[in-house]
Structure 1
């Protein structure tokens, strides 16, 4: 049920239009994306990903997830963790990732 509510909330926020101002301060996800070694990373894509992150993740969750760009093994640790806080974070991170794929391609 939480995933449905989260997905609907993301859809409403994104359908309503997110701020795409170039003057907007970069967030931690956008900065991590731009610093990553991924060939597709560029300012437009990374800004879009940040906008989705702003709609779905708290600032603390963004900081936690930004580490994944530099060390992808950290994401596996979070995914495989048995701690409830990690499980809840992972569910939100998956919703964020799905939203980023849908809206930023």
Structure 2
């Protein structure tokens, strides 16, 4: 249970870090890249929060809520990962030209 709490905290810190990086940069490609990374971190935050809620309470209601959080967090993480991979490729392509 301690590991899940650490992962939740780490995801929240990284989410805030990438959102601040969006404000600090002027390059639009880097902004969408950081936004994709933030989306990945937010998805992992929701995912691990769903796991933590079920571990903490272990009731039928927390199981259903946890499943919803797992689905939403997983979808956000997958989309963030795909966007991050895409924009990283675009950044490398533009830098080599």
Which has more radius of gyration? 2
TM-score range, shorter chain: 0.3 to 0.5
Using structure 1 for the length normalisation, give the TM-score.
0.31
